[in-house]
Structure 1
Amino acid sequence: MSDRHFAFWPKGLPRHMSVPETDLFYNVEVSARRYPNKPYLVFYDAKITFAEFKDEAERLAGWLEKQGVKKGDRVLLYMQNSPQFVLAYYAILRANAVVVPVNPMNMTKELRHYVKDSGATVAIAAQDIYPQMKPLLGNGADQGLQQIVVAAYADYLKAATDLKVPDFIKAPRQAIGDAGVTPWNEVLAANLRPGPITVGPDDLCVMPYTSGTTGHPKGCMHSHRTVMHTMMAGYQWFGIQQDAVYLAVLPFFHVTGMQGSMSGPLQAGATVVLLPRWDRDAAAQCIARYGVTSWTSIPTMVIDFLMNPKLGDYDLSTITRMSGGGAAMPEAIAQKLLDMGITYVEGYGLSETIAPSHINPPDRAKKQCLGVPIFDTESMVVDPNTFKELPANEVGEIVTRGPQVFLGYWNNPEATHNAFVDIDGKQWFRTGDLGRVDEDGYFFMVDRLKRMINASGFKVWPAEVEALMYQHPAIQEACVIGVRDPHRGETVKAVVVIKEAQRGKVSEQEIIDWAHANMAAYKSPRIVEFVETLPKSATGKVMWRALQEKEAASAA
C-alpha cells in the first residue's frame, strides 16, 4: 500500500486517532453537562439547548423501554431532517437499541422489506408520511410493526420566523386513532425515564440500508466504535471547535448527513441549523443570520445556491469550510467558490464505511478528487480479478480497510463474504468503485465496477428498481439504466417490454406515474421507453450494459 499521501497530511494532525470506547449517547451527556444552555439545534429560529435535548431524548427512551424495546432491538426511524429525527435517533440509542434510518421518500412496498428484514416491531415516523407505514402496522405475516410513534414537525415551530416554512412542516398535529399509534407529544408527556445504559463500543448502533446487484436492500451493521471513528475523524480533520455553526441540509438518514451534520457537531458541542428540505433562499438566510461556519453539501445543491440572483444580498463571509461528496464538483463551480474565498473539500465513503474513508487535506485539496485515506485507514487500487495492487495512475478497484468499516450485512452472510477479500492475510472491503491513485497518493474515481446510478448524490441500484417495476401487472420485462441529466448528473430510465395483452392499453407516462407512486422519487424512472424485446446473452441474461452503451452513444 502506498504511503505517498503522508507527505500531504494535514499539518499538526497525528496519523493515528484514538477513538473513545464509549457508547454514542455518552456524547449527549458530555455536551449537555458542558454546554447546558447553548443551542444544539436551531429549527426555523426555534432553539433546543443541549440540556433540553438530553431531557427529551431520555423521556422518549424511557417510553421505548416501557413498550419492551431492549438491547439490540432494531427501531425504524422514518422522517425528514427535524429536531424529532435527532431526538429519536439518540433516544433509540439510549434505550440500548439499534437505529434503522429509512429514506422518507420510500413508499409502502419499499418499507415492507425494511420492516421484515430488520425484524423491527417499533417505528418512529412523521405524520405526513405515516400513511405509507400504516399498512405495515398489525399482526399479519408481512406486518411486523406493533407500535408507531407519530411526530408532527409543527410541534417544534416554537418561535416566530420570517423563514419560508414548507406546508408539510407547519401542518398542525393530527389526531390518529389507529391501534398501536402514539403521538410524540404523549410520549414526552408520560415523562418515563430509561434504565441504565448497557451497550458498549462493540454493540450494534445503527444499521443504514444499502442496495446492490441482488435488488434487495441490505442492512449495514455498524457498532458504536465504527460510528465513533468517522464522527471524530471529520471534526478533527477540519479542526472544528465547539463554537462552530453547521448548516444541515443533507438528509440525516444518509450516512454523510448523519455523521457530518448531526452526530459530529453533537460530540463537538457545536450548533446545527436544520433545514428539512433544500431551499436556497432559506439556506442563505440561515448562513447570514446564524454565522454558519461549516456546510456539508453536494454539487447539485451548491450549483443551485450559486445561481440564486439574490445571493449578493446575504453575508456569507462566516463560512470557513464547505465539504461533500457523492459526485465530483464541476471545475467551474469549484472555482467560483474559490473566488468567494471558500475551498470545497471533497471526500469519499459509503454506507459500509459510515461516511468518509477518504478526505482531501483541507489546505492541499485537489479538485474532483476523492482525497486520501483518513486516520488509521488503508486503501489501495487493485486488479479486480487478481487483487494485485496496481501502480500509480492505473485503473482498478478501490479496496479499503480501517476502524470504520462495517461488521457485515444483517442476516446476509453470503453478501458479507462477497464484500471482502483476503489480500496477504488481511481483510479488505471491496468498494465496487473503479479508481486510480496519482503520484501523490490521492485517489480519483474513474467508473463503477458495480451497476449503479448516481442521481443528485443518491445511489440508485437498477436491480432494486427493476424488482419493484415487475410488480406492475402490465410489465413483462424491465431493464433500468442511467442517462445523463444536466441537473441531477444522472437520472433513471426504464426500458420496458409490455405484456402482449396489455400493449396499446398502457402508456409510458402511465408507467412513470405508477413508479412515482410506488417508490422513492429519487429512484423512480423519469424516462420510460417501450421496446419489443430486450437484448439477452446466450444464457438468457438481460444485457443491460448494451442498453447503457447505446444510450451513452445516443447522448454523445
Structure 2
Amino acid sequence: MTSPTLSGAMLAPALEPERPHHRFWPSRLPHRLTPPATSLWFNLLVSAQRYPDKVALVFFDQVLTYRELFEQAERMAAHLHAQGVRSGDRVILLMQNCPQWVVAHFAILRANAVVVPVNPMNRAEELKHYITDPDARVAVAAADLAPDLLQANAELPENQRLRHLVVAHYHDAMGPEADVPPAWTSWLQQRHATPALPDGTVADWANALACSDPPPAHDRTPEHLSVLPYTSGTTGLPKGCMHTHASVMHNAVAGSVWSNGTAENIGLLVVPMFHITGMVAGMHSGVYAGATLVIMPRWDRELAGRLISRWRVTHWANIPTMVIDLLASPNFAQFDLSSLKVIGGGGAAMPQAVAQRLFEQYGLRYSEGYGLTETAAPSHNNPPDAPKQQCLGIPFMSADARVVDPDTLKEMPVGETGEIIIRGPMVFAGYWKRPEATEAAFVTFEGERYFRSGDLGRVDEDGYFFITDRLKRMINASGFKVWPAEVETLMFRHPAIAEACVIATHDDYRGESVKAVVVLRDAARGHTTEQDIVDWCREHMAVYKCPRTVSFVDALPKSGSGKVMWRLLQEQESAKAASGTAQ
C-alpha cells in the first residue's frame, strides 16, 4: 500500500474544460499528459538500449555515450550498495556540473536511494545541515569541495557523521586537449590527495567504478522519493522538498514535449544541476529524450559561445543574465548561434531590448518560465509560439494555477494582484521532517489542495501570469534565491555582530544584491570595519548569499513586540535607489 501523502502528488488536477490561456496553447500538444509509470532510472535504461552509441554527455572535448553512462551508473550503484546504501537512504551529491554528477545522480537512483543535491557554493558551516537533516551517511563529492564537507562532518557528533565518501576529479572526465578558460585551469586540472574520513572510508571515483559486486534489484516505483533538494524560507534553516519519481518524471517528460524534445536535440547544460531547473528541465528531460547534453561546470561567456558554435547546440535553458553577458562579449561576432531553436529560462525577467535583439538577429523568441523547487521547476511556461515578455507564462502541462487573496483565498479578478497558488502532478509531497511547514504550504481551494507559492502576481485577460511582488521575504540575485533569514542566522555567529538585518539593494546587472544592516557589539565598535564583515561572510557562506555592502547602525528599528522591522529598512533602501542616492 502506498503512502497517501506521496501518492497524492501523482494526481493530475481536474482542469476546467476551457480556460483563457488554452487559446494560446501549442496546437500539437494536449493540455495534460500521462507520464511513464516507472522510476527515473528507467529513462536512462531505455535511452541506453535505444541509443547505445549516441553521445549522451559532452564535457569540453570528451564525450560519453549512453552505453557508457548507463554502465558507469550501474557500477557506481553497485559500489554504493556495497558500502551499505539501502532503499530510501539519502545520499549527498556535491559537485559542479560535470559528467560525474550525472553518473552519480542516476547511480543513487539505481541503488534505490534518494539524491540530496547540494549547492557547491556552500561552505562548511552551511554543509552541516545537509548531513544532519536528511540523516545522510554517504556522500559523493568533487575533490575540491571535499575539504569543506569533511570539516563540517568533523564538527558533528559521532552518531551523525558520514561513514563513506566517494571523491571525483573534474579532469578525469576531460580529454588532454580540453578548451579550458585560463582562469579555470588550476581549478579543473589540480589533483587533490585522497582525504581521510575519521571512522569512515573514502573511495576514489575510479576505484568505485571498478566495483565488481552486482547492483541491487531495482525496486523503486513512482510514489517513492527520488530527490530531496533543499530550499530556504522566511525563517530557519533550509527545508528538504520531497519529490517522488512521479513528480520529477512528469516535468522531465513535459519539459521535453513542450520544447520539441527528440533524440536529435543538443542542449547546453550550464544551469547548475544541483538546482531543480538544471536537474529536471536540463538533465532529466534530456536523458528521457535521448538527447546530447553539452555540460559547462560554470558560466563563462566565451566558452558558451564556442560550445554552441562547435556542437551546434539547439536548446539552451538559462537565466537572462547569461544571455546578456554573451551578447556583450567582444568576440560575439565570431560565434555561430544559428543552430539554436529553443531558448528560454527564468529566475529573473528578460529585458525587452535583449529579447528583441534575439528575435531580430536569430528569429528566436525567448520563452520565460516560472517554477519553484517545490514544483520540480516549471509550473508555468510561455507557449513557444506565443510568448509574452516579462511574463511567467501560462499554467504548464497538467497544472492549474490561480491568483487568490492571500487572506481570504478568494480568486482575484483579471488584472488584480494576489498570491499565486498551484496544483498539479509536479508539486512536491511536502517538506522533509517538517509537517507543520508542509501544512502551512498548502490551502484548500474549490475543494482541491493547492501549493502556496508565496509570490504575488496577476493574470491578464489571456490567462498569462505576471509576477508583481513577493509575499515571502526573498532576494533574487541573478536568479539565485537568497533568503535573508538564513544569511542573518549565519551572520549572528560573527563575534562582533550583535544584530543584523539583511535586505535587497538594487543592482544594474544582477537585478538585486544583498545588503546587511548591522549593529556591532560594544567591544567591536571602532575595531571592526564593514569590509571585515564582508570578508568573514565570504569565508562562511556561499558567495551569492554574501552581503556585497554592509551598513553599521546604532540600532535596528523594531515593532512594539520587539520584531525587527525589515520592511521599513527595505522601503528606505528602495527609496534611495529610486532617488539615485543609493550607494
The normalised TM-score by structure 2 is 0.94
The share of aligned pairs that are identical, in percent, is 53
Q: How does 1:382-397 map to 2 (within 5 A)?
A: 382-397=404-419
Partners of 1:209 and 1:29 in 2: CA distance:
27
In the aligned structure 2, how far is the partner of 1:509 from the partner of 1:65?
Answer: 47
Give the drift of 1:141.
4.9
Corresponding residue for 1:497? 519
- The CA distance in 1 between the partners of 2:327 and 2:522, in whole Å, is 49
User: Is it true that 1:152 corresponds to 2:174 in the alignment?
Assistant: no
Counterparts in 2 of 1:352-363, with a 5 A limit?
352-363=374-385
Q: 1:178, 1:427 → 2: CA distance?
A: 45
Whether the aligned pair in 1 keeps the contact of 2:165 and 2:203 (CA below 8 Å) is yes
Post-superposition offset of 1:176 = 2.9
Instruction: Pick the aligned partner of 2:89 from 57, 73, 87.
Output: 73
Distance 1:137 1:63 in 2: 22
Q: Does 1:175 align with 2:194?
A: yes
Match of 1:432 in 2: 454
Aligned: 1:313 with 2:334 = yes
Equivalent-residue separation in structure 1 for 2:113 and 2:179 (angstroms): 38
Q: How does 1:147-546 map to 2 (within 5 A)?
A: 147-164=164-181, 166=184, 167-179=186-198, 180-340=201-361, 341-546=363-568
CA deviations 1:164-221 (Å, max 9, x no partner) are: 3623112235333444221111111223331110110000000100000113100000
Cα shift at 1:374: 1.3
Q: CA offsets, 1:382-429, max 9 Å, x none?
A: 001100001100000000000000000000001001000112221110
8 A contact 1:102–1:208 mirrored in 2: yes
Q: 1:10 aligns with which of 26, 31, 35?
A: 26
CA drift at 1:534 = 0.2
Amino acid at match of 2:348: A
SS in structure 1 of the partner of residue 316 of structure 2: strand
| Residue of 124, 132, 150 corresponding to 1:108 | 124
- Partner of 1:69, secondary structure, is coil
Give the distance between the partners of 2:22 and 2:142, measured in 1 at CA.
Answer: 46
Per-residue Cα deviation, 1:1-59 (whole angstroms, up to 9, x for no partner): 78100011011111120111100010111000000011100001100000000000110
Structure 1 contact 137–147 (Cα < 8 Å) conserved: no
Output the amino acid matched with 1:154. H
Match of 2:51 among 35, 38, 45: 35
Distance in 2, matches of 1:200 and 1:177, equals: 36
CA contact (8 A) 1:215 1:461 kept: no
- Name the CA distance, whole Å, in 2 between partners of 1:142 and 1:317: 55
User: 1:159 offset after TM fit, Å?
Assistant: 4.7
Secondary structure of the residue aligned to 2:545 is: coil
Tell me which amino acid in the other structure corresponds to 2:326: F
Distance (Å, rounded) in 1 between the aligned partners of 2:410 and 2:159: 45
Paired positions, count: 556
User: Contact conserved, 2:135 with 2:160, CA < 8 A, in 1?
Assistant: no
Unaligned runs of 5+ in 2: 1-15, 579-583
**C-alpha distance in structure 2 between counterparts of 1:175 and 1:123, whole Å:** 14
Residue 129 of structure 1 is matched in structure 2 by 145
The residue number in structure 1 matching 2:577 is: 555
SS of 2:408's equivalent in the other structure is: coil
Distance, in Å, in 1 between the alignment partners of 2:113 and 2:197 is 25
Aligned counterparts of 1:443 and 1:54: Cα–Cα separation in 2: 40
Letter in 2 for 1:518: H
Partner of 2:66: 50
Conserved 8 A contact 1:376-1:403:
yes
In structure 1, what residue type is equivalent to 2:468? V
Once the two structures are TM-superposed, the CA of residue 113 in structure 1 deviates from its matched residue by 0.9
SS class of match (1:416) = helix
Q: Helix, strand or coil for the counterpart of 1:182?
A: strand
Contact 2:164 2:197 in 1 (8 A): no
1:142 Cα offset (Å)? 7.6
Secondary structure in structure 1 of the residue aligned to 2:543 = coil
AA in 2 matched with 1:529: S
Q: Is the 8 A contact 1:508 1:529 kept in 2?
A: yes
Unaligned runs of 5+ in 1: none
2:127 aligned partner, one-letter code: L
Match of 2:104 in 1: 88
TM-superposed CA distance for 1:74, in Å, is 0.4
In the alignment, the residues of structure 2 paired with residue 384 and residue 436 of structure 1 have an alpha-carbon distance, to the nearest angstrom, of 13
SS in 2 for 1:125: strand
Q: How far, CA to CA, are the matches of 1:542 and 1:202 in structure 2?
A: 42
TM-fit CA distance, 1:239: 1.2
> What RMSD, in angstroms, separates the aligned Cα atoms of the two structures?
1.2
**Does the C-alpha gap of structure 1 residues 94 and 408 become closer, same or farther in structure 2, counting only changes over 3 Å?**
same
User: In structure 1, the residue corresponding to 2:157 is in which secondary structure?
Assistant: coil
> 3-state DSSP class of the match of 1:346?
strand
1:246-291 per-residue CA deviation (whole Å, 9 max, x = no partner) reads 0111100001111121111001000000110111111111111111
What is the DSSP-based 3-state SS (H/G/I as helix, E as strand, rest coil) of the residue aligned with 1:123? strand
